[in-house]
Chain A
Amino acid sequence: MVCESRTSLGKCCTLFLIGAFAFWIRVLVTLHSYSGAGTPPRFGDYEAQRHWMEITLHTPVQEWYVNTTNNDLSYWGLDYPPLTAYQSFFHGLVLDRFEPESVALHTSRGYETPSSKRLMRWTVLTSDAIIFFPAVFAFSMAFHHQRRFDESAWAFAVILLQPALILIDHGHFQYNCISLGLTLGAVASICLHRDYLASVLFCLALNHKQMSAYYAPAFFAYLFGKSIRKKNPIFEVMKLGVAVIGTFLLCWWPFLHSRTAEAVLLRLAPLQRGIFEDYVANFWCASSLVVKWKQIFPNTVLAYLALFATLVSFLPSVVQQIRSPSHRGFLLSLFNSSLSFYLFSYQVHEKSILLPLIPASLLILEDFSLYRGMILCAMFSMFPLLRRDGLVVPYIATFALHLLLLNVPFLEKSLSHVKERQHPSLKYMSDGLLFTGCLIDLLYLLIEPPPRYPFLFEALNSLLVFICLVLIGLHSHIQQWSATSTHEQIDADKVKMN
């Protein structure tokens, strides 16, 4: 049906429908459970976010990151950068306006009334609609504008309906849509050649969640590579530097002013937590089945080891972008560097897979098999977490919905161009992963693991996903390095298609 819409009204209507549908699916997911629902004494991420609203609302700025009588840091102390704190303050104001008890100091711990839950859910929904949706739209306009409308509309739908982000933000309860939306905005700005705006937006993303640093090498490499090709390279780099430092100064001003910036920095580096949590599908966790890293090395040594491994693994993609910066190569290097961080960096959480997943989804029209593999990896690797949150039903529903979206029977003709370009070995890997992943999920739901190995399924799951991620990472590195040579070819293809 989409293929009929050649008029601009038809296009607007299609995009509106996709956006509204994606939003509605998010609303439906909010009806389900969330992290730590009704489980005192520490609850979960929902309580953490609510607690931050309480703290930022009732204590002065300089106390937000400091242990005081009003701010017990051992109970969900703020450990995200200042922009998250400001966002919590703002949302705290909203909650205070409608239901003051839900953010009252001290007394509101574990506060869960139906109305406060609705309010909390809507703070995420509105953030998503205000930041993430427009960013995806801008990206589609900027990067897919040469594509046929069917293709770009489908890509728009795939990025918006990507289930992992929906489940974590609107099921589990977090505000990834803000930092990822800001990053996406930065990517869109780069595609529109607005490098300063991109730097500012990406710095904002960094200041919302420090995890956005997974993307930093790619941004640095692309912008640096582009600057040194201009007339006045040093001046260009300095201009970007000013934009970055200015944004940081603005975000950190209250803490610099009150001389508590050091305390904030300490809160952001979670060295006291281990090298990985639970069963995350990265190198350290997978190899710890054989090598007990946590017992051999102290945390600080491990941190350096992880830093070194990460550096080595993202270096190739950085070098490639500095040598020949391009939009497609930039997206691939975003993917490669964030995947390196996920696989090798210190203190990785299951949810961090969202970071490589986003650039993979942006590449859907360029490299369908990469995205297909990634979404399967992301969903299967998050299953244990979502099961703990009581989100099995929305997990199945949104996952199935997304797989259906990837195979629309009446769009087959218009998408044949995209799907033909699938890498065969990656396709077989994805098929195998889909089958084994479903099997493990099913076993996980139905069978009690043997008492000797209580975490058998989690370990199997993370090992499986880790192997696939390594394969995908190899594939994307090859893609990125061959991008330089094939780039002209692709551009020629695009012209022919139109």
Chain B
Amino acid sequence: MRGTKQQQQHELQRQQAQKPMNGLREVLWMASVATCIKMLLMPTYHSTDFEVHRHWLALTASLPLNQWYIDETSPWTLDYPPFFAWFEYVLSFFARIVDPVIVDLTRGLKYDAASAVYFQRGSVMCSDLLLFLGTWRFCRNFPLKLQILSYLAIFFSPGLLMVDHIHFQYNGFLLGVLLLSVSYLKEGNDLTGGIMFAILLCFKHLFAIAAPVYFVYLLRHYCHDLARFLKLGFSVMLVILTAFGPFLYYGQIAQVLRRLFPFGRGLCHAYWAPNFWALYNAVDKMLSYLLRMLGFDVVMEKAAMTGGLVGDSKAHAILPQITPGLSMFLVLLSMSPCLIKIWRKPRRDNLLICVVYAYTCGYIFGWHVHEKASLHFVIPLVLAAVDSVKVAKEYYFVSIVSYYSLFPLLFEPREYPVKMIFLVLHSTAMWYGFAINFAPQTQTSVKESELKERNGCMSLCIKKKMFIAGLVGLEIYVQLIHHLVFEERLPFLPLMLISVYCSIGLMYAWLKQLSFVIEL
């Protein structure tokens, strides 16, 4: 009796799954709750990125197109691709209605009155509609429970909330476009997916790291004949020409590219993003310290590897210097397994994990990587994690480590309880959600192999547990013990420790992802 009832329910669920508007109420509900929380975050600390984006509003509103990439009124010059500039241009119309000073090129400099804060925060919230749309589009055919879990992980991601809605950036809607693009590819609509990705690149070029994966996949999966190849190539070129064409016309393309790729910046950002280079730097520092102790003469330059604006100097004291070329080579090299995989097996199901892996490679070995770039792989990874317990465990681990590594972005004491409670809350909720989802259950309609995979319980291995316990210890050290031991000395040490410790975790996560890619 009970069994048949369950079967009926499953039939019902499956029928529901075919409906195109499946889960719309749930996604709207979750999105509204997330928006309420974002509203509450409005008065929190905002970084210089707030002024950067405000300046771009003013710049696009008050200057003609051919000045956009030339102007140097503020040190925060426009360094995103043209579509993003157009996005700011559209926003500036509304900004002018709210408060004309926001879009004033000179009077608006460093303007952060309540009107500007509420307007810009509101613009991030509105642009997040694309994130909601992208996520929903990707997982609308999942069973309802998995949908809710994905929405919980993405809409309430501490990383996105911290970076977009406190620190201030527009990652949410860009990730939404990425998810839209992947969702089209998942449905087999390769042309639309490819165009979407091209549009995304014209919004933020940092997403280009996954371009090789897209290229190989579309080549092998879509371009079976020349006509299709030309169709795709032509559409993508059209998108890129729409974005960059005007600057080509003004003869400014070199200037635009110089703005987009400022290789003059150092290997690492002001706060070392926890990647391979953070470890490399740490080893270099330690070696030079040791050698000095042993009496060798080592020239040390203070904090030469960092700097957000400029920074071009001799960086490493002992280990070989790293050039942008070398870093790019390493990125491609580390990405090659997934490129080979996707060349040999250009399947729809493999794409998501390969895109995630590509962004991870870019993060681990990239040049001048920001810690925020970890969002590029953590967020899409959710959608792979709800499918299999193996990935779920990795996602769970990598999300905690990378969200924790974003904490130094919000350094003011006022936000400390906000981010701390939220991380604990979010990770507990996610663990609980995964545990329910992967709880052993006897289901007749699930395939045997799938059942095996799903039945694994959601418990982390001892290594990961130890590592997360270590994070707690690290946090206690950073907040309390460091101050007691060193007082005001060695102020850089806590940040360095966080960065190095997290980089070990993220390197491990990268290796794990590599193993997933190889297993595909």
Q: CB within 8 Å of B: which residues of A? A: 1, 4-5, 10, 13-14, 16-17, 20-21, 23-25, 27-29, 31-32, 114-115, 118, 393-394, 396-398, 400-401, 404, 407-410
CB pair B428 A16 closer than 8 Å: yes
Within 8 A of A (CB), among B136-150: 144-145, 148-149
In the complex, A20 Cα to B25 Cα: how many Å? Answer: 25
Docked-complex contact A401 and B36, CB < 8 angstroms: yes
Q: How far is the CA of A25 from the CA of B148 in the complex (A)?
A: 21
B424: which A residues are within 8 A, CB to CB? Answer: 20
Across-interface contacts of B428 in A (CB, < 8 A): 13, 16-17, 20
Q: How far is the CA of A16 from the CA of B422 in the complex (A)?
A: 13
**Known A10-B432, A118-B414, A404-B32: A28·B37 in contact at CB below 8 Å:** yes
Contact among B29, B40, B144 for A29, CB-based, below 8 A:
B40
Cα distance, A23 to B29, chains bound together (Å)? 21
A20 touches B421 (CB 8 A): yes
Q: Find chain B residues with CB under 8 A from A404 CB.
A: 29, 32-33, 36
0/1 string, B329-354, CB within 8 A of A gives 1: 00000000000000000000000000
Q: Assess whether B233 is interfacial by the CB under 8 Å rule.
A: no
Known A10-B432, A24-B425: A410·B414 in contact at CB below 8 Å:
no
CA distance A414 to B414 in the complex (A): 39
- Asked whether, in the complex, the Cβ of A1 is within 8 Å of the Cβ of B436, the reply is yes
Whether, in the assembled complex, B433 has its beta carbon less than 8 Å from a beta carbon of chain A, the answer is yes
Query: A27–B36 contact, CB under 8 A?
Result: no
Q: From residue 150 to 190 of chain B, which have CB atoms closer than 8 A to chain A?
A: none
**With known contacts A114-B414, A404-B33, A410-B144, A25–B25 Cβ distance under 8 A:** no
B64 touches A (CB below 8 Å): no
Q: By the criterion CB–CB under 8 Å, are A17 and B422 in contact? A: no
Instruction: Give the CA-CA distance A115 to B412 in the complex, in Å.
Output: 11
Partner of A398 from B36, B149, B432, B439 at Cβ < 8 Å: B36
For the complex, give the distance between the alpha carbons of A286 and B429 in Å. Answer: 47
Complexed CA–CA distance, A393 and B119 (Å): 13
Kindly state whether residue B44 has any CB partner on chain A within 8 Å.
yes
Q: Is the interface of B mostly helix, strand, loop or mixed?
A: helix
Chain B residues lying within 8 Å of A401, measured Cβ to Cβ, are 33, 36-37
Q: Given contacts A404-B33, A410-B144, are A27 and B44 in contact (CB under 8 A)?
A: no
* Residue in B41, B43, B148, B414 whose CB lies within 8 Å of A1: B148
In the assembled complex, how far is the CB of residue A229 from the closest CB belonging to chain B, in whole angstroms? 46
**How far in angstroms is the closest Cβ of chain B from A258?**
40
Q: Judge whether B312 is part of the interface by a CB distance below 8 angstroms.
A: no
Which residue of chain B is the closest to A402 with respect to CB atoms? B36
The answer to whether A31 touches B39 (Cβ under 8 A) is no
Are A13 and B432 closer than 8 Å at their CB atoms? Answer: yes
- The distance from the CB of B94 to the nearest CB of chain A, in whole angstroms, is 16
- From 369 to 421 in chain B, residues with beta carbon under 8 angstroms from any chain A beta carbon are 413-414, 417-418, 421
Q: Are B418 and A17 in contact (CB under 8 A)?
A: no
Residue picked from A23, A27, A29, most chain B C-beta under 10 Å: A27
Chain B, Cβ-Cβ closest to A396:
B39
Task: Check A24 against B413 for contact (C-beta < 8 Å).
Answer: no
Is A409's CB under 8 angstroms from B414's CB? Answer: no
Q: Are A31 and B414 in contact (CB under 8 A)?
A: yes
Question: Do A397 and B432 contact each other (CB < 8 Å), given the known contacts A24-B422, A27-B417, A410-B144?
Answer: no
Which residues from chain B contact A5 at a C-beta distance below 8 Å?
436
Please determine whether A21 and B425 come into contact, CB atoms closer than 8 angstroms. yes
Residues of chain B contacted by A24 (CB below 8 angstroms): 418, 421-422, 425
CA distance A404 to B425 in the complex (A): 20
Taking a contact as CB atoms under 8 Å apart, the answer to whether A17 and B425 are in contact is yes
Residues of A within 8 A of B41 (CB): 28, 31
Give the secondary structure class of A's interface. helix
B418 and A28 within 8 A (CB): yes
- Please determine whether A1 and B29 come into contact, CB atoms closer than 8 angstroms: no
A14 to B431, CA, bound (A): 12
Measured CB to CB, the closest approach of chain A to B454, in angstroms, equals 14
Q: Flag whether B11 is at the interface (Cβ < 8 A).
A: no
User: Taking each of B36, B414, B439, which has the highest tally of chain A beta carbons within 10 Å of its own beta carbon?
Assistant: B36
Give min CB distance, A478 to chain B, whole Å.
Answer: 34
| Nearest CB of A to B373, in Å | 27
- Please list 6 pairs of residues, one from A and one from B, whose beta carbons are closer than 8 Å in the complex, sorted by A's number: A16-B428, A31-B40, A31-B44, A114-B413, A393-B42, A407-B29
Docked-complex contact B26 and A410, CB < 8 angstroms? yes
Instruction: State in angstroms the CA–CA spacing of A400 and B37 once bound together.
Output: 10
Shortest beta-carbon distance from B415 to chain A in Å: 8
For the complex with contacts A5-B436, A14-B432, A401-B37, 14 further pairs of A-B residues with Cβ separation under 8 Å are A20-B424, A25-B40, A27-B421, A31-B43, A114-B413, A118-B413, A393-B39, A393-B43, A398-B36, A400-B36, A404-B36, A407-B29, A409-B26, A410-B144
Across the interface, name the chain A residue whose C-beta is closest to B144.
A410
What 1/0 mask marks residues of chain B from 34 to 60 whose CB sits below 8 Å from any chain A CB? 001101111110000000000000000
Q: How far is the CB of A18 from chain B (nearest CB, A)?
A: 10
* 8 residue pairs, one from A and one from B, having the closest CB atoms: A397-B39, A28-B40, A401-B36, A409-B25, A397-B36, A24-B421, A4-B436, A20-B425
A409 contacts B29, C-beta separation under 8 Å: yes
B-chain residues with CB within 8 Å of residue A16 when the two chains form the complex = 428
- Residues A408 and B40 in contact, CB atoms below 8 Å apart: no
Q: Which residue of A lies closest to B418 (CB)?
A: A27
Contact A32 B43 (CB under 8 A): yes
Nearest B-chain residue to A21, judged by Cβ: B425
Q: How far is the CB of A401 from chain B (nearest CB, A)?
A: 4
Q: Nearest A residue to B152 by beta-carbon distance? A: A1
CA distance in complex: A16, B429 (Å): 10
| Alpha-carbon separation in the docked complex, A456 to B519 (Å) | 71
Contacts of A394 in B (CB 8 A): 39-40
- For A20, list chain B residues within 8 Å (CB): 421, 424-425, 428
Report chain A residues within 8 Å CB of B43.
31-32, 393
How far, in whole Å, are A216 and B413 apart by their CA atoms in the complex? 43
How far is the CB of A104 from the nearest CB of chain B, in Å? 22
Residues of B within 8 A of A10 (CB): 432, 436
**Inside 8 A of B433's CB, which chain A residues have their CB?**
1
Q: How far is the CB of B253 from chain A (nearest CB, A)?
A: 43
B432 touches A17 (CB 8 A): yes
Give the interface centre of B25, B32, B144, B436 by most chain A CB atoms within 10 Å: B436
Q: Is the CB of A397 within 8 A of B37?
A: yes
A27 to B433, CA, bound (A): 24
Measured in the bound complex, the distance between the Cα atoms of B493 and A344 in whole Å is 64
Q: How many Å lie between the Cα of A203 and that of B209 in the bound state?
A: 67
Chain A, residue nearest B441 (CB):
A4
**B420 → chain A closest CB, angstroms:** 10
* CB nearest to A409 among chain B residues: B25
By beta carbon, the residue of chain B nearest A25 is B40
- Distance in angstroms from A451 CB to nearest chain B CB is 26
Shortest Cβ gap from B239 to chain A (Å): 37
Give every chain A residue within 8 A of B422 (Cβ-Cβ). 24
